Amino acid sequence: MALLTGCPTVDLGDTPSDIGLCNPPKGVEYFTTEVWPTFVRPTDASKGCTRTGACHNEAGGNLLNFRGGATPSASDFTFNYRQTQIHLNCGNPEASPLRTKPLSGLDPHGGMDLIQPGDAADMAFLLWFEE
């Protein structure tokens, strides 16, 4: 009589928490060095997602809230990257809400138009998706 044995079970660990979320090819590193300082928190305090007075910083209370202020730690960048993922469209980066909301002339945005098509912030965002 032949002994039937099943395939061994392999534990692959926990399911990654970012399955189904957009992960631009240049990842969190590019977000940290380019998207954050150019798009999210530029040196011009009147622009950007975390400008003084609320919006998308810790005090903002909006759907998208970043943390870490002017000098985020590595854990803040990990958190902030995760916050952006649900506002990205990897199939059509140009249509990502993270881009279209602050972009002049597209989606209505309570924080006004913050960037212009083709400016440095817009280009930094779009380059995030290039391999």
Q: Say if CB 68 and CB 62 are below 8 A apart.
A: no
Residue-wise pLDDT tens for the chain (131 aa)? 555 566 666 666 655 566 678 999 999 999 999 999 998 888 777 777 776 555 776 666 677 878 876 677 888 899 999 989 989 999 999 999 999 988 887 777 777 778 889 999 999 999 999 98
| DSSP letter assigned to residue 16 | P
Distance CA 114, CA 62 (A): 17
Q: How many CA atoms lie within 13 A of 39 on its CB side?
A: 27
- φ/ψ of 125, rounded to 5, equals -60, -50
